[in-house]
Amino acid sequence: MKTILTLLTALLLAPLAALHAAESSGSTKQPNVLWFVVDDMSANFSCYGETLIQTPHVDRLTREGTRFAKAFVTAPVCSPCRSALITGMYQTSIGAHHHRSGRGVDKIRLPDGVTPLPSLFQKAGYFTCIGSGLPPGPNVVKTGRKRESDLGKTDYNFEYDAAIFDSHDWAGRKPDQPFFMQVQLAGGKLRGGKDETAKRLLETAAKEFGASTDPEKVTLPPYYPRDPVLLRDWAAYLESVRLTDAHVGKVIARLEKEGLLENTLIIFITDHGISHARGKQFLYNEGTHIPFIVRGPGVEKGKVRTDLIEHIDMAAVSLAAAGIEIPKTMQARNVLASDYQPRTHAFAARDRCDETVERLRSVRTGQFLYIRNFHPQRPHLQPCAYKDGKSIVQALRDLHTAGKLEPLAEKLLFSPTRPPEELYEWATDKWQVTNLAADPAHKATLESLRARLDQWMLETRDHGPESESRYDSDMVAYVGRGNPEVQKNITLMKQWAKEGK
């Protein structure tokens, strides 16, 4: 009798033992997590309403997943944005808010309790990688890579160990090991910064797709003149969107071929809006509004969400999908959680970019956008060697000097000073051209958002202005590189600071 009971017990426990063995061997169906992170690109995809081009592969992600119509970055420039997304924290809270900071002798280290996501995924047994997302060529698959130069773009402003990434590609993982992959794409940077590179990209696109965007058919924001340089640049930018979409399609095809697609959570975003005079680096929609699409296991298909979200939320969404506990101190929110309460406000900040000192903060609701300029005595287009080297900015400055710009462009781009506060009804004022801050009819809204921004800065421990010693430390990496404008601008920044501007 004892033998029969023992046998029955063994039979009953066998399935549980098998399940435990499967879990121990890593063969469970824990989802892979794959991010598309694209440089310098607004939501100019056909699923977001762009009509001059078609983007079938990103559109597919939308059909098979959930698209967020009102997603915004917390920083409209690469390194602060990426420092925020990889930690799920506001860049202003972790001291990583100045662009390309911590590059000198004065380093930036993450606060206690803040851990880059790849480390959290590694601890959970994931294979972490960052690269192009396309199959490696013969004999080039490498694992255990520790040198950042071997990997895709990171651009974090804080100190970290490159070993948080196991490889540039998921091909080197163990059998059935889940992976966390960041596909880093050049996006809007493909068009370069010069008119000649824009022309070449249009030629490349014509060969790739059979035809390229006609510059004369481009619709520009109302504050940009229909100058040939600007029209070509925008047309080339749209081709960079098409080339990005094509790359996304290749990665999706690879996932399908390898039988991974249906068990992979995919998040598609860009790191900020189009690089332009009022886009990248600024807190208007042109610089902060981004595409945000999620596809994967358990994600509702064909849904469009219109609640406000921030780009850092992708950190919490990814951890939750993998079954990894979200750190209690993380500011990102799992916007796919069943008990998620939509944000009532979204925040953003812009600080020093390269040698150019700046400090902007914003808060928005679903209707209004409030921006605070901490240096109102400085012009919108402060001198900046990076931006001033672009053909589009040079064309704008030339037209300004010649007196050929329309009044709106003069006011928004070349006014010698700025209002300390800006208020826009962005839900109807698409390009934020009508500042309502001085309108008595909107006094209550202005005061409410002003107070909410103050509260956020206090609650999140905004690190604020950069010290002069850290500025000097970081500027060492900029000077002496064949661009005398940088040193000239550094001197001007220091002069303006002394003048209280």
Decide: helix, strand or coil at residue 303: strand
Element (H, E) at 147: none
User: pLDDT category, 28, cuts 50, 70, 90?
Assistant: low
Q: What is the pLDDT of residue 148?
A: 53
Q: Report pLDDT digits (tens) over 455-495.
A: 999 999 999 999 999 999 999 988 877 789 999 999 999 99
User: pLDDT category, 323, cuts 50, 70, 90?
Assistant: very high
| Least confidently predicted of 2-6, 126-130, 275-279, 336-340 | 2-6
Q: What is the pLDDT of residue 26?
A: 37
- Tokens 């589009």 belong to 392
Q: Report pLDDT digits (tens) over 69-117.
A: 999 999 999 999 999 999 999 999 999 999 999 999 999 999 999 999 9
- Percent of the residues in the chain that have a pLDDT greater than 70, as a whole number: 92
Total residue count of the chain as it appears in this document: 501
| pLDDT average, residue stretch 212-224 | 98
Contacts of 475 (CB under 8 A, 6+ apart): 104, 355, 490
**Gyration radius of the chain's alpha carbons:** 24
Decide: helix, strand or coil at residue 277: coil
**Which has the closest alpha carbon to 279: 271, 288, 292, 269?**
288
**Which has the closest alpha carbon to 421: 440, 437, 434, 409?**
437
Residue 21 pLDDT greater than 90, yes or no:
no
Residue 149 pLDDT greater than 70, yes or no:
no
φ, ψ of residue 309 to 5 degrees: the values are -135, 160
User: pLDDT category, 184, cuts 50, 70, 90?
Assistant: very high
State the CB neighbour count (10 A cutoff) for residue 302.
Answer: 10
pLDDT: which is higher, 13 or 166: 166
- Decide if 281 contacts 352 (C-beta within 8 A): no
225 HSE (CA, 13 A, CB side): 20
Q: What is the pLDDT of residue 483?
A: 83
The tokens of 91 are what?
Answer: 């860049």
Output the DSSP codes for 176-223: T--EEEEEEE-GGGGG-SSHHHHHHHHHHHHHHHSS---GGG----TT
- Percent of the residues in the chain that have a pLDDT greater than 90, as a whole number: 89
Domains belonging to the chain, first-starting first, are: 30-498 (3.40.720.10)
Distance (Å) of CA 260 to CA 30, 128, 179, 362: 11, 16, 10, 40
In what order do the strands lie in the sheet containing 360-364?
A: 346-350, 360-364, 369-373, 421-424
Contacts of 84 (CB under 8 A, 6+ apart): 73, 74, 75, 90, 91, 94, 96, 311, 312
Q: What is the pLDDT of residue 9?
A: 39
Contacts of 429 (CB under 8 A, 6+ apart): none
Contacts of 356-362 spanning 24+ positions with Cβ under 8 A:
356/382, 356/383, 356/384, 356/489, 356/493, 357/382, 357/466, 357/471, 357/493, 357/496, 357/497, 358/281, 358/382, 359/464, 359/465, 360/282, 360/283, 361/283, 361/453, 361/457, 361/462, 362/283, 362/288, 362/453
| pLDDT average, residue stretch 427-454 | 98
| pLDDT average, residue stretch 379-406 | 97
| pLDDT average, residue stretch 275-281 | 98
- Decide if 213 contacts 201 (C-beta within 8 A): no
The model carries a pTM of 0.92
User: pLDDT category, 12, cuts 50, 70, 90?
Assistant: very low
Q: What gap in Å lies between CA 418 and CA 268, rounded to an integer? A: 35
Q: What is the pLDDT of residue 480?
A: 79
Q: Hey, which residues does 256 pair with through a beta bridge? A: none
**Average pLDDT along the chain:** 93
Q: Report pLDDT digits (tens) over 327-345.
A: 999 999 999 999 999 999 9
| pLDDT average, residue stretch 220-239 | 98
Residue 447 pLDDT greater than 70, yes or no:
yes
User: pLDDT category, 306, cuts 50, 70, 90?
Assistant: very high
**Which has the closest alpha carbon to 31: 270, 245, 319?**
319
State the CB neighbour count (10 A cutoff) for residue 345.
Answer: 17
Residue 11 pLDDT greater than 50, yes or no:
no
The secondary structure of residue 497, as a DSSP letter, is H
